[in-house]
Amino acid sequence: MAVFATREVEGMRQVVIDIENETVRARNGALSNLTGNIDFVPRLPSAGYVLKTLISKEVRIRPSYNGTGRIFLQPSLSGYHVFEATEDERWILEPGVYWASEGGVGLGLYRERFWPSLWAGDGMLVWKTTMWGPGQVALNAPGPVEVIRIEDAQFRAQGRLVLGRTDGLRFSSERPARFPRNMFSGQSRMRVYSGTGRLLVCWTPYWNQYMYTRMTGEDIEGTIFE
């Protein structure tokens, strides 16, 4: 099986993938360099796929890497979370979170419900990557990631702490308090996940990524070299 690893150099983090007669996929534009006998194969999109790319940045071609060798993906001041996806769980990832995966990992698309997305400030037509195993996956993460499980309960977060959820959890948006008390709470709308399943949560960002964002006002999406 392919070996996914992360390395840190000069405060930047990078995903390194070793393959031996195998296939992996990665986000469009993620490649830094590769060594060995590896074929780089971008998939030709269908007409429907092209149409979706016009309304969502999440709907992109994920090129394949086939063969034997080592692949270095782009470094970033933010980080990456590597974990094993299983067949019995389907994950719904937030836009921009998917980075790379083994060839056996299934990838699809899920359109979030209209009103929760609109109230949460995400927009009207929000497409998210779905993912299921078996195989290793690397995710884009602004900081260390913790996997938490809830059972027939709610997880409410202020801000975009959740990077992904299993499909047993339902996303919604609600006021932090009842009207008119919410107007004096000092909090924006809460992102709510209800049901039974697992969440990928990033509680705090890496300090260098945080400082970059604070000083420049720009978000780091994948890599500063894009």
Q: Give 29's contacts (C-beta < 8 A, 6+ positions apart).
A: 74, 222, 226
pLDDT of residue 72: 97
Q: Say if 39 falls within a structural domain.
A: yes
pLDDT of residue 11: 86
The CATH number linked to 134 is 3.60.160.10
Rounded Cα–Cα distance for residues 26 and 61 (Å): 9
For 36-85, the pLDDT digits (tens) are 999 999 877 666 666 666 666 666 678 999 999 999 999 998 899 999 99
pLDDT at 220 over 70: no
Answer with the residue of higher pLDDT: 126 or 201: 201
The pair of structure tokens assigned to 154 is 């709610």
* CA separation, residue 207 to residues 77, 98, 102, 217 (Å): 9, 22, 30, 15
pLDDT confidence tier of residue 216, bands split at 50, 70 and 90 = confident
Q: 139: domain range?
A: 3-216
State how many domains the chain has.
Answer: 1
pLDDT of residue 176: 72
Q: Say if 143 falls within a structural domain.
A: yes
pLDDT of residue 225: 39
Q: Say if 92 falls within a structural domain.
A: yes
- Global pTM reads 0.87
